[in-house]
Structure 1
Amino acid sequence: MAAILGGGLGGLSTGYYLLKNNLNSNNKLKLFLLEATNYCGGWIKSIRTKDYVFEQGPRTIRPKGLQGLNTLNMMQDLGLSEHIAPITPDHPAAKNRMIYVRNNLHILPSTLISAFKKNQPFSKPLIYALFNDIKSPYKELQDDSIYNFVERRFGKEIADYAVSPMICGICAGDAKEISVKFLMKTLFEYEQNHGGVVKGLMASMFQSKSDSDMPLSELAKRSQEEKWNVYTIKGGLKTFPDTLQNYLVENEVNVNLNTKVEELEFIDSSSVALKSSDGNSLTANHIYSSLPSYALAKLVEKQHPELAKDLNEIPFVTVGIVNLYFDIVEPLIQPAFGFLVPPIENAPILGVVFDSCCMPDQKGTVLTVMLGGKWFKEKFGDDVTEDTLLGIATSEVEKILKIKVKPTASNVNILKKCIPQYVIGHYERVDKIREYIAANNLPISLVGCSYDGVGMNDVIYSAKKQVEGSPCTA
């Protein structure tokens, strides 16, 4: 018997892959999923009405790369193909991504031609960044912050106005702390192995490229042919985990809501007891934990304090999400994905997503304002109220987007410790955690955003790889 801890996207995906891998087995795997709250889906939450959808967590998914194509394979298998709403390269949400600098919105260059032109707030055409890389000295390092790496190779303006806001948008973090391996591992390896990014790119052109042998669904092939930028699901992204949960239930997975595990007791290499808050105990042959690392640390610290210490050292940040709906026929914003605010601007918000441009079937104007992240406590303290965040969000929207009318509807959610921060040394720390588990023969696999990537594609692919490498697939 196997037990999955957590009913977020990582836990649900783990159940999906365990079922798939067990299809051809003579011994049907008995599977339990334990979720502490009264719903599955984790941070993916959609508020649906007849006029708009408020996404309180993720809203779009990238189709690119092995992980992105893998997610599309899952989408088709679950019967979600007809619900997909893609954004193609000619869509304003793909072409127009902005940053807010010195009281002005600037569209970031998105084409090769634009790289040869001077675009505010950059003082030179972006092509000059390549010349900076060619002349910059080589520095031998095991890891570095993504900010330091970009500043060293491409210049301070690229680090401040391109990479720093991008990190805010992806993980609500500080580029001066986040590992370069988080987003630019290949470019960092070019520098370390060849002395520079351009030199590494030139060398890679003469190397044979190995394509993945992963079979592609018709949906995945379509995304490649149409060159999707991102995509979402009609009616809200919550449809995805809802469908996954239904798939598990239909295939006789025991999904237990409102079941909080208080402690894990490892008996031997193929037996672990799960002690829940109601005093009951469940024994499993293997555990798949999709819990945040800090939550898992509490469950193992009694038997394995060293493991708990390493798990607790993965930092997390809190993000405020404010959804705004304006019931006005005239468009209040220019068509775009939205804008991000570089940390150097010291603004109270991280950025704004123009949901009514990115998501289908939205009436009026729908915006999502993101606040806090790495700077949540610094800017808002420990006891900030939802009303305070709503006031800050509406004030910034009025100032930056010149929207003078009051929102017709709004929603505020404070997502406490929702995004892990892959700071310098993160990947070595994760290796150490998994090496400890292997050395002590603990029947547990780690999935989810704490370890192998914070994006939805990363979480799903992490579940797949951990299931394939675990002893419960036979």
Structure 2
Amino acid sequence: MTTVAVLGGGIGGLAASYYLCKSPQVTKVIVLESSSRFGGWLWSTRRSDGAVFEHGPRGIRPAGAVGHNTLNMVDDLGLGGDILPVPYSHVASKNRYVYMNRRLHRMPSGLSGLLRTVPPFSRPLLLSVAMEMLVKKGVEEDESVHSFVSRRLGKELADIAVDSLCRGVFAGDCRKLSVRSCFPVLYDAEQRRGSLTLGMLLGSGPSPAVSPGPLAQRSVTESWAQWSLSRGVESLPESIAEFLQRSGRVELHREAAVQQISPSASGWTISLEDGVVSADHIISALPAKALVSILPPSCQPLIQLLQDIATVTVAVVNLEYEGSILPVSGFGHLLPSSEDQALLGVVYDSVPFPQHDRTNGRTTRLTVMMGGAWFHEVFGSPDTVTEERLLARATEAVHCHLGVPTAPSWSRVSLQRDCIPQYYPGHFRRVESMRSFIRENNLSLSLIGSSYDGVSVNDVIFNGRTAVEQLLGTGV
């Protein structure tokens, strides 16, 4: 393996390049990014007064093999001293809210929360958990998240908690999302143990082997629920890009949009606006739809499969208010689709990460997320909606939900187009078919990124590592 071209300079493409650099088998890595910056959806605004605002992911979970893998990378990049951990004992971890029937409800937590009837639920959640163990295993190879949870835990829990959760994580409709692809742990628990409860207690299956380094071990010892970095999560892709630059084996190209890729005798010919690049292998970290537009006609079956992967657009509105304006303390609140289709949720950024507040004078930072699977229905085309309209809708939500009468002192509206892929039932089969086509046609091509095997930062990084290990036939 001599030259590998990585298409896309988001966190997936950068992670794959990082792992490629760890191998002596790779002589040269060429990273081609169409925009003017690396990092993709990991995007932070840093103001001169010390305030940090996130326009994409804001907190990363440390748990499990994929969480440990990311922390091992953070350690290796020398970012351990910049970590901002949020333990499970923190109020942001313990208090999460749902806004329903025009009021905030704290979600049940702990044993006491399971034993009591806590609004907006009509009965103790422990009853649903106890009954779940008696439910027969499903026979379908996949189903919607809403169908799965309704069947096992009851419609009320699906309509409120799971509906809200899917809007917060995927900006998606739980009635359309695949349980097998979006929540594989739940699917595996039912398949292997016949029960979610038993699956959680006994384990639902093998997990990837990742040896936790010092930082990952610290996250376990200190019981972290999530973490960020002192200069925002964009510090991670920035540090990877610096590492790649220093390696001497990586060419980093910004504003290098790929026009076409064509198989050649030695691998691929990659056509850019201003020239041609040759590579022995391509790792595509592009969104599925972007890959569709550059594949050759000979890949028509793959193109059709890629076209089936839908995405949603999310409006992310960062707000800053003078003083302490929150009526409650916690991570934030979500809304079920029955309450307000436009509003996905509000994150109380100053609670988990007060270190990102400005250094002079008390303020409260919030992020309002809107649209997702309901964007076109509520706001129309992303091409025609104005920032003023989105800002007005966001500030109205803060006023109504949190009782904040004042206007924000600072705001920023970011329209994140096609930012989260939607895994519909059968998604795993589509991805299997894509990779089968690649194998059967001996294409030197790897597919990574959030379009295929998980949308979280941890998933995307780990899948970049997995693709490199498969390509090189070794552990990295």
TM-score, normalised via structure 1 length: 0.94
Offset, 1:100: 0.4
Q: For the Cα contact (< 8 Å) 2:181–2:453, is it kept in 1? A: no
Structure 1 residue aligned with 2:254, among 254, 257, 261?
257
Does 2:340 correspond to 1:338? Answer: no
Q: For the Cα contact (< 8 Å) 1:71–1:457, is it kept in 2? A: yes
Give the distance between the partners of 1:211 and 1:190, measured in 2 at CA: 13
Give the distance between the partners of 1:356 and 1:284, measured in 2 at CA: 46
Does 2:417 correspond to 1:412? Answer: no
Structure 2 residue aligned with 1:296, among 286, 291, 294?
291
In 2 relative to 1, CA 212–376 (structure 1 residues): closer, same or farther, beyond 3 Å?
closer
Offset, 1:235: 1.9
Equivalence for 2:231: 235
Structure 2 residue aligned with 1:219, among 192, 215, 219?
215
Q: Secondary structure at the match of 1:300?
A: coil
Offset, 1:192: 4.0
Does 2:453 correspond to 1:452? Answer: yes
Equivalence for 1:397: 398
Offset, 1:384: 1.0
Q: Secondary structure at the match of 1:470?
A: helix
Give the distance between the partners of 1:138 and 1:464, measured in 2 at CA: 34
Residues 120-165 of structure 1 deviation map (CA, whole Å, 9 limit, x = unaligned): 1001110011233234344311101111000011001110111111
Give the distance between the partners of 1:212 and 1:292, measured in 2 at CA: 25
For 1:62-461, list aligned pairs within 5 A.
62-192=61-191, 195-198=194-197, 204=202, 213-252=209-248, 253-268=250-265, 270-278=266-274, 280-326=275-321, 328-359=322-353, 360-363=355-358, 364-382=363-381, 383-461=384-462
Q: Secondary structure at the match of 1:127?
A: helix
TM-score, normalised via structure 2 length: 0.93
| Unmatched 5+ stretches in structure 2 | none
Does 2:51 correspond to 1:52? Answer: yes
The residue identity in structure 1 corresponding to 2:323 is V
Offset, 1:103: 0.4
Give the distance between the partners of 1:459 and 1:321, measured in 2 at CA: 21
Q: For the Cα contact (< 8 Å) 2:332–2:346, is it kept in 1? A: yes
Offset, 1:184: 3.4
Q: For the Cα contact (< 8 Å) 2:53–2:356, is it kept in 1? A: no
Give the distance between the partners of 2:234 and 2:257, measured in 1 at CA: 22
Equivalence for 2:33: 35
Give the distance between the partners of 1:169 and 1:238, measured in 2 at CA: 20
In 2 relative to 1, CA 217–354 (structure 1 residues): closer, same or farther, beyond 3 Å?
same
Give the distance between the partners of 2:426 and 2:157, measured in 1 at CA: 23
Q: Which range moved further: 52-61 or 357-366?
A: 357-366
RMSD: 1.9
Equivalence for 1:6: 8
In 2 relative to 1, CA 277–51 (structure 1 residues): closer, same or farther, beyond 3 Å?
same
The residue identity in structure 2 corresponding to 1:66 is A
In 2 relative to 1, CA 59–152 (structure 1 residues): closer, same or farther, beyond 3 Å?
same
Give the distance between the partners of 1:31 and 1:392, measured in 2 at CA: 45
The residue identity in structure 1 corresponding to 2:298 is Q
Give the distance between the partners of 2:200 and 2:326, measured in 1 at CA: 43
Give the distance between the partners of 2:198 and 2:389, measured in 1 at CA: 50
Equivalence for 2:20: 18
The residue identity in structure 2 corresponding to 1:341 is L
In 2 relative to 1, CA 198–217 (structure 1 residues): closer, same or farther, beyond 3 Å?
closer
Q: Which range moved further: 49-58 or 78-87?
A: 49-58
Give the distance between the partners of 2:461 and 2:268, measured in 1 at CA: 25
Give the distance between the partners of 1:366 and 1:97, measured in 2 at CA: 17
Q: Secondary structure at the match of 1:309?
A: helix
In 2 relative to 1, CA 129–35 (structure 1 residues): closer, same or farther, beyond 3 Å?
same
Q: Secondary structure at the match of 1:350?
A: strand
Residues 168-221 of structure 1 deviation map (CA, whole Å, 9 limit, x = unaligned): 11110011111111343343344345554346567x47x9x8686532211000
Q: Secondary structure at the match of 1:442?
A: coil
Q: Secondary structure at the match of 1:303?
A: helix
Offset, 1:114: 1.4
Q: For the Cα contact (< 8 Å) 2:142–2:426, is it kept in 1? A: yes
Q: For the Cα contact (< 8 Å) 1:275–1:281, is it kept in 2? A: yes
| Unmatched 5+ stretches in structure 1 | none
In 2 relative to 1, CA 199–58 (structure 1 residues): closer, same or farther, beyond 3 Å?
closer
Give the distance between the partners of 1:181 and 1:213, measured in 2 at CA: 21
Give the distance between the partners of 2:348 and 2:225, measured in 1 at CA: 16
Q: For the Cα contact (< 8 Å) 2:317–2:369, is it kept in 1? A: yes
In 2 relative to 1, CA 127–177 (structure 1 residues): closer, same or farther, beyond 3 Å?
same
In 2 relative to 1, CA 7–407 (structure 1 residues): closer, same or farther, beyond 3 Å?
same
Residues 6-32 of structure 1 deviation map (CA, whole Å, 9 limit, x = unaligned): 10000100110001123xx5xx51111
**Identical amino acids, percent of aligned pairs:** 38
